[in-house]
Chain A
Amino acid sequence: MQTFHSIGTTADWIVMVVYFIAIMLFGSYFGRYTKNTSDFFFGGRRFSWWLITMSIVATGVGSHSFVKYSAKGFEHGISSTMTYLNDWFFIAFFMFGWLPIIVYSKVRSIPEYFEKRFSPSSRFLATILLLLYMIGYIGIGFLTLGKAVIPMLPVAFTLFGLTIPITLMGAIIVIAIVTGVYITFGGQTAVIFTDLLQGFILLFAGLLLFFFGITYLGGFDIFWDLLPTEWKLPMADFNQPSSFNFVGIFWQDAIAGSIGFLFMNQGLIMRFMACKNVNEGRKAAAINILFVLPISAIVVGNAGWIGKAISIASPEVVSPSVSPDQIFVVVANIISSPGVFGFIMAALTAALMSTVDTLINATAAIYINDIYRPIRQYLKKNVIPGPENDRRELGAARYASVGVTILGVLAVLAFKNFPTVYEAHGYFHSTLTPPLVVGIFLGVFWKRFTASAVITTFVGGVALMILGARYPGILIAPFDHGIEMNQAHPYSYIRALYNTLVCSGVAVLATLTTQLQVSLISNIRSKANNTLLMNGILVVAILFFGIVAFGIAGLTLQVAAAVGVIVLVPLAVTYFVHYDEEDNTLGLTASSIHIARKQFKGSDPNDQEGEKILVHWRLFESDASSMGFSSNDMDQMSAKQGDLVYLSDKRSWLGGLKSVHSTYAEPHSEDGIVYLTPDLIESGLFAEGRELLAEKEM
């Protein structure tokens, strides 16, 4: 396979350095809007849908990157777009299930939802699984970044007479340091605004590349005619080859990946939580999936298609044996002029950095919410909320960002031996998403799904997944849809079907046997030595899991041990964990969203349609957090005292950066005037004399 080094000119490097400095300054500027952990992680829940949509572009396109889709575009053609065009199937579940629940229940992280919906032990297991997922994702991001940059670097450089070779890991470490700088000091507001800028730039850069490519080839008709028919089709062959087939990618991406991306990607969830309300979040999701993703599919894959066309027309320019992961850089260098190539590379690397920085920020959020705070509460018993505590948490969040960056670099080691980044990512997604995806999905949509069922899904499901990974030819083969098993990386994609099925099966089984578990446990409780008996069951369950995890004994015994885990874990959970179906589901399932809205507001929601009005603000010294409008203005907004109100700067292009949420105070008589406390003015970043737009939320 042909690989490249030292691609690009001095002009390209100058453009890249200038671009990165500009982006970091831009991010640092918006970092000043970060005052507490809410701003650091969620941007203060204030932004408009269009701003979030564009900032998601950089995150989504970065993660489904130029490098891996160009590689598949070069190997297989336009079917590289498949993964971008299959995210609509679960959108109703997301818009009217998960999104309102996470917003109205005011959870700050996905594991926190597990504690509220199930139990603290479920939160603990969810935290472990989610951290593995996030850190793995960061590792994939760093690997892609390294592979993108390596072709531009020389094989080695000399410093003080010493020749130092440039390795993939060396490049990744340098990139990690640069990435860590502004995420550590900027926070979510900086990330959102940096991603907004980069979203526009990378769409422009990708489309520019397509235009240059078509021009280089002599027009669209020539490009189209050069591609063989199979390369023009939008979907891959049903079940071959094993490295890229439709059915495997359907289960890995359209099912596990789509639910994983929408439901358990903490980075994406935090973006939606930064929207000013649920409806804006729905708009951001809809516009992103409907219109931005198809454009992104062209943006990220076209270098591969152009590369393939050039390799057919002029194999001496682009050899068919070019390493697929390097094709983006090779093609961009051939079809663009010096400087422009630097700009395209800067856009690519910046997009990838956006993904990584979002994930680092999100993982730090999980650390603070699900490890740091619970441990501090456990140790000190009484943590007093206030500015002092907030400052301490903000400091811990920044240290966590550094720690997560280091772990992300180490995670690269697990993926760097896959033939392409695409396969590494597919394998990773198929393996890590199913237990959490099943846990979240059934938690939201099935009221009967219990704490014992979710923990059994995590433990028993993982046990069966380990067996599948160890014996793919026996356990995954029945689901392979005719896909040939690659011995080096068996069933990279279709394993998602097996993993999802076993986790769902365990979840359903454990839920449907709830009554049996309860009656068995009440029987055991009536015995004098019940604690001893249950501790014994717990130890046996752990031993069974150990047999599976470490592969002690043959397949039959391991399967028996896994079955033992699935039988014993729900009993142990039913005995040790307190779970009340009414308390633990109220406002936390799709069927009780009306209660979640009521809890969010603190009283019955007011859904009467009202108008938006323009007002001027005046200072009102008070400790209260509500804002005062005139009776006429409140009538126009169809608002009552105590309803929720959103007040923002009139300039819509600010996207809600200068805005604040509050409640309506007792009305006054001065129309067009809103009385605000100093806290609200500071929080909303309102400037003297600026007109504000007010709207009732609920």
Chain B
Amino acid sequence: MNLFSHSWLPFIYLYGLGGILFVAGIIITLKAGSFDLKRPAHRKWMWILLFGFFWYFSMHALMTWAALGTISPYAVPIILLAQVAIFIVVTLRFGKKARA
């Protein structure tokens, strides 16, 4: 059965169009000056924004692979939890830098 229209086509549409909107949001707020990367706290937010996009991107990709039988369904929560651990460590390091 051809599942492309049920799997990767929605994925491409979601992260293609959604990605354009996401990047537009960052560029517009940076240009407006409300998002200011000179401020350490805002640099931390940039990391969180980019992580968030990658987090959902990888979550959907892993779930699709698991559904299609490419990977085990048990790999999905394991990889996602590893990402959460990385997120916590890096975010805390940003917090320390901001205070230093």
Contacts and interface: CB of A to CB of B under 8 A. Distances in A.
A89 B22 contact: yes
Contacts of A286: 48, 52
Contact of B52 (A91, A230, A239, A279): A91
B85 interface: no
B47 to A, nearest CB: 11
B33 A591 contact: yes
B2 to A, nearest CB: 11
Contact of A233 (B3, B53, B98): B3
B32 A593 contact: yes
Given A238-B10, A246-B13, A254 B67 contact: no
A589 B32 contact: yes
A232 B66 contact: yes
Contacts of A279: 41
Contacts of B66: 232
Contact of B67 (A88, A89, A234, A237): A234
Interface string A257-282: 00000000000000000000001001
Contacts of B63: 78, 233-234
A609 B34 contact: no
B39 A607 contact: yes
B52 A290 contact: yes
A97 B7 contact: no
A591 B5 contact: no
Contacts of B19: 89
A238 B5 CA distance: 5
Given A279-B41, A609-B98, A590 B9 contact: no
A237 B6 contact: yes
Contacts, number: 135
Contacts of A224: 73
Given A229-B3, A254-B18, A282-B45, A97 B32 contact: yes
B13 A88 contact: no
A594 B3 contact: no
B22 to A, nearest CB: 5
Contact of A96 (B1, B9, B34, B84): B34
A232 B18 CA distance: 23
B11 interface: yes
B31 to A, nearest CB: 8
Interface string B7-32: 10111011001110110011011011
A92 B53 CA distance: 11
A590 B26 CA distance: 12
Interface centre among B26, B32, B73 (most CB of A within 10 A): B32
A88 B23 CA distance: 11
A216 interface: no
B55 interface: yes
Nearest to A279: B41
B94 interface: no
B59 A85 contact: yes
B34 A100 contact: yes
Given A89-B25, A235-B10, A286-B48, A229 B59 contact: no
Contact of A88 (B10, B17, B41, B53): B53
A418 interface: no
Contacts of B51: 290
Max count, chain B CB within 10 A of own CB: residue among A233, A237, A255: A233
Give the residue among B26, B56, B66 with the most A Cβ atoms within 10 A: B56
A85 B56 contact: yes
A247 interface: yes
B52 A289 contact: yes
Given A86-B18, A96-B34, A593-B34, A233 B25 contact: no
B43 interface: no
A88 B22 contact: yes
Given A86-B18, A97-B34, A609-B99, A236 B49 contact: no
B32 A235 contact: no
Interface string B31-72: 111110001110001001101110110011001101111000
A230 B32 contact: no
A594 B39 CA distance: 13
Nearest to A607: B39
B25 A93 contact: yes
B18 A89 contact: yes
A96 to B, nearest CB: 4
Find the residue from B5, B10, B34, B60 having the highest chain A CB count within 10 A: B34
A589 B1 CA distance: 51
B15 to A, nearest CB: 9
A238 B9 contact: yes
Interface string A308-319: 000000000000
Interface string B76-100: 0000000010000000000000110
- The 4 A-B residue pairs with the shortest CB-CB distance in the complex, in nearest-first order: A92-B25, A232-B67, A590-B32, A235-B10
Interface of A: 78, 85-86, 88-93, 95-97, 100, 220, 224, 229-230, 232-239, 246-247, 250, 254-255, 279, 282, 286, 289-291, 294, 445, 589-591, 593-594, 607, 609
Interface of B: 1, 3, 5-7, 9-11, 13-14, 17-19, 21-22, 25-26, 28-29, 31-35, 39-41, 45, 48-49, 51-53, 55-56, 59-60, 63-64, 66-69, 73, 84, 98-99
Given A289-B52, A609-B40, 11 more contacts: A88-B22, A88-B56, A89-B25, A90-B22, A233-B64, A237-B10, A246-B13, A254-B14, A290-B51, A590-B29, A593-B32
25 contacts: A88-B53, A91-B22, A91-B25, A91-B49, A91-B52, A92-B25, A96-B45, A97-B28, A97-B29, A224-B73, A229-B68, A233-B6, A233-B63, A233-B67, A235-B6, A236-B6, A239-B5, A246-B9, A246-B13, A282-B45, A286-B52, A290-B55, A294-B59, A593-B33, A609-B40
